[in-house]
Amino acid sequence: MIIINVTKQLSTAEGILQAHFELTINDGEFLTLFGPSGAGKTTLMRLVAGLETPDGGRIEVDGKVWFDSKLKINLPPQKRSVGFVFQDYALFPTMSVRQNLLFAAQNDEQRTYVDTLLEMIELTPLADRLPATLSGGQKQRIALARALVRHPKILLLDEPLSALDPAMRQKLQDELMMIHDRLGVTTLLVSHDIAETVKLSDRLAAIESGHIKDICPPMEFFTSHTFSGKLQLIGEVLKIEEESPIVIVTLLVGSSVVKTIIGRSEGEKLRIGEHALISVKAFNPIVIPLNEQ
Amino acid sequence: METEFIETMILTFELASITTLILLFISIPLAAFLVFTKTRFKSIVETIVSMPLVLPPSVLGFYLLLAFSPASFIGEFLTSHGIRLAFSFEGLVIGSVLFSLPFMVHPIQSALSQVPRSIFEAAYTLGKSKLTTLVRVILPMIRHGLISGIVLAFAHTVGEFGVILMIGGNIPDETRVASIAIYDEVESLNYAMAHQYALTLFIVTFSILLLVYTLNKKSLEGLK
């Protein structure tokens, strides 16, 4: 169990912001920090990792105090058991894939674990390559594996997939889910992507101007607690065509483009580029497996 | 005549090697300080480091000579401990270190400033100390900066003239380096000997630079 209650003064584009984060994360939970840029999501991660120091408060992980302003305890990042995955991967360019992972290992058990992790992310054949010769998706998988070598108490993912193309994003989301299920490591993710958040997280913490406004299951948050459709999809609005008296909306759901017909009053609420919820009631959807070659 | 030539060349490269080695140890922490510090004294330190680029060597040499002389405070302190810096090899080393400082610090500083902050932070969250991070991650990453610094500082010390003339004089096998010897031989109209020194310096410097640029290019390509 991770108990966070910290304050920190942030300087954002809109001026000085007094942030206060109060949050409890359960063991093995996948929690996503969701919110606009400059709200303090990344700062909260960095405070947990010890890369930045809170102005006051307390961070307690499994009964061990990592930070306490009253007791004057502030463990450096080296002494906190965290795995941090950066947006720019932060792989060590002069080390091979395997050396990057081995660099993190502290004992023989972890050195053996490096091979297990390489197998898990299917990068064993590339283990002796330098990071510069790999694709963005491969680099981020290495960064993820490297963060796991030391069996961290918490895995911190700072928009790890934002630099990748949609197909690669989906593949890595699946991999993240697989790793989280297999290892059960408590995970904190910063994300801007609604689909990603819904797919991966147990709970979502909505962050706005340095405060946690809401903590709930992600679907509950995005559907404003009211809808109860049989089939719900979240997509990005690509195109709105008025064909009186109806409106044809084109949405991007995952990596597929979906067209649907809605009423004019509903159409007026949609904006191109924004996210929308597609909810189908009354019908029984047909779901059949796809032949993937 | 031949032994004097060999002695002079050995002394020249000895001075350059020792100076470069000392500079390497001073410059890595100094460059790191300049890249990461947030104090307002940064500009002052930066200015002092860069001064030798524009300052006439005779100015630095003159003040060093004053500082080294037994009449000065520093000189008096050193003399009382049995250390004589003016007209000695040790004095030349100090002068050369100061004068070649920017040639070592600048390439390292520029290479360090290009290392993303997240690389340091990744190493820290993986439990590594600052020293381990520096030695195992950062120094290999900035090796072309280090190589440039080593070559430039070495070559610049070999080519050093003004400062050495002011503080070192021209004592054979003690402070007589090649650049001074060339001047000396020309003064005594001994052009053949001057030519021998000059050509040797020319060839050696050219070869070192060529070797390093070739190696550096290869290692850069390997990282792409």
pLDDT digits (tens, 9 = 90+) for A115-158: 999 998 889 999 999 999 999 889 999 999 999 999 999 999 99
Amino acid identity of residue A204, one-letter, is L
Residue range of the domain that includes B213: 2-223
Q: Using one digit for the tens of pLDDT, what is the confidence trace for B86-128? A: 788 888 999 999 999 999 999 999 999 999 999 999 999 999 9
Region A152-174: what's the mean pLDDT?
87
pLDDT exceeds 80 at position B223: no
On whether residue A187 sits in a domain, the answer given is yes
Whole-angstrom Cα distance, residue B28 to residue B104? 9
Q: Judge whether residue A185 has pLDDT over 80.
A: yes
ipTM: 0.79
Tokens of A204: 């979502």
Say whether pLDDT at B224 is over 50.
no
Query: Do A71 and A25 share a structural domain?
Result: yes
Is A36 in the same domain as A176? yes
Q: Where do runs of H (alpha helix) occur along chain A?
A: 41-49, 97-104, 108-120, 136-148, 166-183, 194-200, 218-222, 264-267
- The answer to whether residue A287 sits within a structural domain is no
> A143-152, A237-246, B47-56, B189-198: lowest mean pLDDT where?
A237-246
- In chain B, which residue's Cα lies nearest the Cα of A78? B127
For A9, B31, B32, B35, the CA distances from B38, given in Å and listed in that order, are 19, 13, 12, 9
CATH number at residue A242: 2.40.50.100
Task: Looking at the structure, tell me whether residues A116 and A24 fall in a common domain.
Answer: yes
Instruction: Report the distance separating Cα A43 and Cα A10, nearest Å.
Output: 8
Determine, for residues A88 and B118 on separate chains, whether the beta-carbon distance falls below 8 Å.
Answer: yes
Q: How confident is the model over A21-29, as a mean pLDDT?
A: 94
Q: What pLDDT is recorded for position A260? A: 86
CATH code, domain with A28: 3.40.50.300
Nearest CA in chain B to A91: B119
**What span, in angstroms and rounded, lies between the C-alpha atoms of A268 and A65?**
52
Distance from CA of B123 to the nearest CA of A (A): 8
> How far is B45 from chain A, CA to nearest CA, in Å?
27
Q: Number of folded domains in chain A?
A: 2
The pLDDT value recorded for residue B142 is 93
Q: How far apart are CA A127 and CA A115, in angstroms?
A: 9
Q: Residues of B at the A interface (Cβ-Cβ below 8 Å)?
A: 116, 118-119, 121-129, 136-137, 140-141, 143, 222-224
Indicate left, alpha or beta for A159 from its phi (over 0: left) and psi (-120 to 50: alpha): left
At residue A64, the pLDDT reads 93
Residue A73 structural domain: 2-222
Residues A96 and A212 in one domain: yes
Cα separation, A127 vs A130, whole angstroms: 8
- The pLDDT value recorded for residue A283 is 64
A84 and A147 part of one domain? yes
Question: Is the confidence at residue B221, as pLDDT, over 60?
Answer: no
Bond into A245 cis (ω within 30): yes
Percentage above 70 pLDDT, chain B: 96
Are A168 and A98 in the same domain? Answer: yes
For range B136-160, the mean pLDDT:
91
Cα Rg, chain A, nearest whole Å: 21
Q: How far is CA A124 from the centre of its chain?
A: 25
Over range A80-92, report the average pLDDT. 93
pLDDT at B172 over 50: yes
Do residues A238 and A197 share a domain? no
Q: What is the CATH number of the domain that holds B50?
A: 1.10.3720.10
Minimum distance, in Å, between the CA of residue A88 and any CA atom of chain B: 8
Q: For the whole model, what pTM was predicted?
A: 0.80
Mutate to test the interface with B, among A79, A89, A94, A117 (most CBs of B within 10 A): A94
Task: Tell me whether residue A291 is in a domain.
Answer: no
Across the interface, whether the CB atoms of A90 and B224 are under 8 A apart is answered: no
Which structure tokens are listed for A170? Answer: 């989906």
Percent of chain A scored above 90 by pLDDT?
49
How close does chain A come to B209, measured CA to CA in Å? 24
Total number of domains in chain B: 1
